[in-house]
Amino acid sequence: MSTLGHLINGQTVVNAQRTQPVYNPATGQAHKQVALADKATVESAIAAAHQAFPAWRDTPPAKRARVMFRFKELLEQNAERICQLIGEEHGKISHDAAGELQRGIENVEYACGAPELLKGEHSRNVGPNIDSWSEFQPLGVVAGITPFNFPVMVPLWMIPMALVCGNCFVLKPSERDPGATLYIAQLLHEAGLPAGVLNVVNGDKEAVDTLLHDARVQAVSFVGSTPIAEHIYRTATANGKRCQALGGAKNHAIVLPDADLDNAVNSLLGAAFGSSGERCMALSVAVAVGDAVADALVEKLHVAMQGLTFGVYSESSNDFGPLITRQHKDKVVGYITSAERQGAHLVVDGRDARVPGYEEGFFVGATLIDRVTPAMDSYQAEIFGPVLQVMRVATMEQAMQLINDHEYGNGTCIYTRDGEAARYFSDRIQVGMVGINVPLPVPVAAHSFGGWKRSLFGDLHAYGPDGVRFYTKRKTITQRWPSAHIREGAEFSMPTMK
């Protein structure tokens, strides 16, 4: 069985004192293992980044951007291999893996604009012969901790922007599916990145705690569950670090009586069951306004779900694949069972999912649950599986209140033909990313990604313009060159333009 190691100072390091199996979720079998970094290994990665920082900081932004241009080409040239690694370790179907990679590449493309993104602001003659300008300077060594559900896209939210801003990076990817992440890091070095500028350490809590407590790490970016996001944020900030920690979600779709139901059903199918629902932007709750709309919606969903297929990543005809681990499968099945026991109506039951030839795989079929109420465990939690729940309310205001009352505020959408209702919804809903007849309102690379409430800890969102601000610190310089022929006396009042 092969062992995946770490990438430190441009070299592969395999420290196999502690290892963890990496499973193929479709077969349920471990097909490789990953070395788990101890404190000393992580510290060596931080030291490599710290040593590389002065030279990389002084590298012109245009040269940093050229590395990203070459990196983008290598990602595209090796797309098939990257998607295969995603499929083997995560279970994502090939077309979904390709979509993940493309969204990551778009962030690389945005980072290629570093010379423009890092331009400061300049004001001439803010006072007599006084000029003032701002610069955006790198922080130093920064770290990223990324989740299993997007082993390529989420690292590409962080790494390209951090690097073009002049920082050096230490990445701790998910130990459940690290292969694709390591591979793209190797491609980045192939693109010309100097050794030590990017380092990848695989590990568990010991690795994370080392990053959070080491004084050389200036900032931490995290994506994962809310309890861990809160812990990361509190620990990082208590140690004087800048932190953005993106947490969980419970994304609702409001379906109004005037909605195009056929369009809504198709959108909900993809948004709820794509990637087996293992997306923080998955639509997991449809809130139907009125029983007539609810009945029609459930019936159409029931019919449409009969045609959904699930299976292994290499069969592109499949709609989605397995869940990441057997433990997570059991957790998702438990939420389905709890909803049924607490009085919900199980319309389509995916608990007994089977794929011929892959009987040990971690599969759960598409599941539809009607008449869910706010008190149910399945509603309160982020299930993170292929489960769509339907709730029934009498008015749009009641639907919005459900969303605003929930602890999460990541993403939401509304299905309607009414522009006034859509504008009212987008203005007043307490959620960070909003779709109008768009089921997965994930911002493009030129905007920034992030939720509200307990879906985000920190002031700045991920990637886009907020990414530039997160990975830089502003310095404002005020300059005056006095005339050699004029000597002024001391002034003790606050300088003004009066």
CATH number of domain containing 151: 3.40.605.10
Q: In DSSP terms, which residues pair with 69 in a beta bridge?
A: none
Range(s) of the domain holding residue 213 = 3-247+455-477
Examine the domain organization and report whether 188 and 51 are in the same domain.
yes
Do residues 23 and 144 make contact, with C-beta atoms less than 8 angstroms apart? no
pTM of this prediction? 0.95
Cα three-residue angle 287-293-299, rounded to 5 degrees: 95
Please indicate, yes or no, whether residues 235 and 329 belong to a single structural domain of this protein: no
- Beta strand 19-24 with 29-35 is antiparallel
- pLDDT score recorded for residue 303: 98
Catalytic residue positions, numbered: 280
**Within this chain, do residues 268 and 157 fall inside the same structural domain, yes or no?**
no
Q: Are residues 31 and 153 in the same domain?
A: yes
Instruction: Determine how β-strand 456-457 pairs with β-strand 472-480.
Output: unpaired
**Do residues 228 and 193 share a domain?**
yes
488 falls within a domain: no
Q: Is 85 a member of any domain? A: yes
d(CA 390, CA 378): 11
Q: How far apart are CA 111 and CA 109, in angstroms?
A: 5
Query: 44: number of CA atoms within 13 Å, CB side?
Result: 17
Rounded to whole angstroms, how far apart are CA atoms 156 and 145? 12
> pLDDT digit of tens for each residue in the chain (498 aa)?
899 999 999 999 997 789 999 999 999 999 999 999 999 999 999 999 999 999 999 999 999 999 999 999 999 999 999 999 999 999 999 999 999 999 999 999 999 999 999 999 999 999 888 999 999 999 999 999 999 999 999 999 999 999 999 999 999 999 999 999 999 999 999 999 999 999 999 999 999 999 999 999 999 999 999 999 999 999 999 999 999 999 999 999 999 999 999 999 999 999 999 999 999 999 999 999 999 999 999 999 999 999 999 999 999 999 999 999 999 999 999 999 999 999 999 999 999 999 999 999 999 999 999 999 999 999 999 999 999 999 999 999 999 999 999 999 999 999 999 999 999 999 999 999 999 999 999 999 999 999 999 999 999 999 999 999 999 999 999 999 877 776 777 778 888 877
Same domain, 365 and 470: no
Based on the domain organization, do 119 and 27 belong to the same domain?
yes
Residue 485 lies in a domain: no
Q: 97 and 184 share a domain?
A: yes
Residue 389 and residue 339 in contact, taking contact as beta carbons nearer than 8 Å: yes
Whether the CA torsion 124, 126, 129, 135 is positive or negative: it is negative
Number of domains the chain is built from:
2
Calpha distance 436→240 (Å, rounded): 39
CATH of the domain at 262: 3.40.309.10
498 assigned to some structural domain? no
SS3 track for the chain: CCEECEEECCEEECCCCCEEEEEECCCCEEEEEEECCCHHHHHHHHHHHHHHHHHHHCCCHHHHHHHHHHHHHHHHHCHHHHHHHHHHHHCCCHHHHHHHHHHHHHHHHHHCCHHHHCCCEEEEEEECCEEEEEEEEECCEEEEECCCCCCCHHHHHHHHHHHHCCCEEEEECCCCCCHHHHHHHHHHHHCCCCCCCEEECCCCHHHHHHHHHCCCEEEEEEECCHHHHHHHHHHHHHCCCEEEEECCCCEEEEECCCCCHHHHHHHHHHHHHHHHHCCCCCEEEEEEECHHHHHHHHHHHHHHHCCCCECCCCCCCCCECCCCCHHHHHHHHHHHHHHHHCCCEEEECCCCCCCCCCCCCCCCCCEEEECCCCCCHHHHCCCCCCEEEEEEECCHHHHHHHHHHCCEECEEEEECCCHHHHHHHHHHCCCCEEEECCCCCCCCCCCCECCEECCEECCCCECHHHHHHHCEEEEEEEEECCCCCCCCCCCCCCCCCC
Same domain? 277 vs 210? no
Residues 353 and 467 in one domain: no
Claim to verify: residue 226 and residue 295 sit in the same structural domain: no
The answer to the question of residue 442 being in a domain is: no
